[in-house]
Structure formats: C-alpha cells, structure tokens
Amino acid sequence: MNKLDNIMIKYISALKVLETQLEIINDDFKYIKKYNPIEHIKTRIKSADSIMNKLYKDNLDFTLENITTYVNDIVGVRIICASLADVYELIEILRNSKIIHIINEKDFIKVPKPSGYRSYHLIVEVPVELINGQEYVKAEIQIRTLAMDLWASLEHKLKYKSDYCTEEISKRLIAIGDELNEVDLEMLGLINREKRLKLLDEGGE
C-alpha cells in the first residue's frame, strides 16, 4: 500500500463520521419536529487524478503535504433540503455541533455566483480515530434546496458536458436560476404562514 492509499483511508473514515452524524441529526429532527429536513444526501471522494489536477491547476506539486493542506474537498457531501428554511436551520445545527467543526462558510444562496449557481458551502473538519491517534480531517459540505439542485444538474449537463453551450443558453440558465429562487422564496413564505397559523390556533386553545 503506497502513501496515497494510506492518506485516503482517513478521508474514507471522515466520510463515515459525517454520514453517521448527519443521520443522527436527521433522526433527532424527525423525532422532535415530526419531519425530515434532509431529502437526500450525495457523497463522493475525489479520485487521485482529480486531486492531482486540482493541485496542478493551483501550481502546486502532488505531495502528501500539499494534499492535506490545500485540498479541502477530497471528501464531498451534498445535502438536499426541501426548503430554504430547512437549509438554514440545518446550517445552524451544524454550527452547534461538537463533532463537525466548521472552519469556513460561503453563502452562494444570498450572493449567487455570476453563473446563477446557488448553494451554501461549508468547509468542515471531523475527528477520525486512527491507530496512531486522533486526527482532524477536512471535508466540504454543500447544502441546497431541491430547486437549486435541479438547476445545478441542468447547468452541469449544458455547460460542462457539452461543447455547444452558447451565450444565449448561459443567459437563459441565469434567468431560470432566478425563477427557481423565486419559487424557493414563495415556498418559504407559505411555510412561514403555515407556522403562524398553527401558533395562533394553538394559542387560542
């Protein structure tokens, strides 16, 4: 087993820690609030080729030290929520976690990328117990709504899997992103209205 295989074991272990913690959060949320905030979770671990390409793109040598220091998204977790309310509530839960430690946040929901991309990105670290002791391992978590995930999937197919994405198509993608965001905001309004009606009804009993 080479050195890269050795270092990848800790990332595989970190993914298991994250999956377990997110499952616990979802189960606890369901027990307390009677529904699941997480629709589904997608995970992946970068291949050696992807790690190498990322380092070379940043003019860095392919070394174990550079991998550990500069590649934060070897472990990737994408969490899909039904609504914006669930996205931000889940983020707040993660901020208070004693196991998942947030080290960086980027809110591409409130401030989308120029392409129209929306999502909430977290760089986190989790403790992994290895034979030689405990080590904190970094990972990236992306949290988005169903609508945002639909848009991201469409954009990836049109822009990265095709050689024929014109400027007109790119502009329309941005417009569709704005339209889907309006749907998310309208859904959030309906959820908040339902909560207010429920509180009024409970207060009147």
**Is 182 one of the annotated active-site residues of the chain?**
no
pLDDT of residue 76: 97
pLDDT of residue 57: 92
CA–CA–CA angle 78, 84, 88 (5° rounding): 75
pLDDT of residue 104: 97
pLDDT of residue 192: 81
* Residue 55 one-letter amino acid: L
Q: Which of 80, 78, 76 is nearest to 145 (CA)?
A: 80
Of the residues 39, 125, 140, 194, which is catalytic? 140
Per the document, the length of the chain is: 205
CATH number of 3-147: 2.30.110.10, 3.30.460.10, 3.40.50.880, 3.40.50.300?
A: 3.30.460.10
Distance CA(121)–CA(140), nearest Å, equals 7
pLDDT of residue 3: 63
Per-residue tens of pLDDT for the chain, all 205 residues: 466 777 888 999 999 999 999 999 999 988 887 778 899 999 999 998 899 999 999 999 988 899 989 999 999 999 999 999 999 999 999 999 999 999 999 999 999 999 899 999 999 999 999 888 899 999 999 999 999 999 999 888 887 656 667 788 888 888 999 999 999 999 888 888 877 777 777 765 5
Distance CA(59)–CA(46), nearest Å, equals 19
Domain limits, the chain: 3-147, 153-204
pLDDT of residue 1: 44
